[in-house]
Amino acid sequence: MMRKKPVQHHMEGLLVLLLFGVFAACVLSVLLMGAGRYRVLTERDDASYSWRTAAQYLTTRVRQADTADGVRVGAFDGGEGEDTLFLTEQIDGVAYTTRVYWYDGSLRELFAEEGTELDKDAGETVLDCGGVRFFETDSGVSAELTGADGEITRLDWTLRSGKGAAS
């Protein structure tokens, strides 16, 4: 009696390998699309975080300093312009000023005794951002925040202590 040679299943093996390859390609394409979408969402969330944090920080600082002559806008070095938010407070009879300004890609804060002359790079970095510009309004102060994407958002604060606080 003769034994039959086992039937080789080359075609079936090739078909299984082909199906596995198609499955692997589909899984890889879904993963790559998901990774791209995740990157976009993360960038959007980072920009939103920076804007919200800057807005909350500035709002808190203005509200804390909202006293007579406690909030004003002017030039960092006392010259012309409106690039700095000055927040003045009295501590043990001595006037101290916190300067909030944008410099070298970040929102910065500098606390010193009133009249002390310092350079802009002496301030502590609060938050990296695209830009900040301050200006006075009829009822208080405003700021324009520039995001990393170039979008500008305006914040307005009405001072409870009145117009005199902003001048």
Is the pLDDT assigned to residue 165 strictly greater than 50? no
Sign of CA dihedral 71, 72, 77, 78: negative
Full-prediction pTM beyond 0.75? no
Q: What is the pLDDT of residues 32-66, one digit of tens each?
A: 998 888 888 888 777 777 778 888 999 999 998 88
How does DSSP classify residue 74? E
pLDDT of residue 54: 84
How many H helices and E strands in the chain?
1, 8
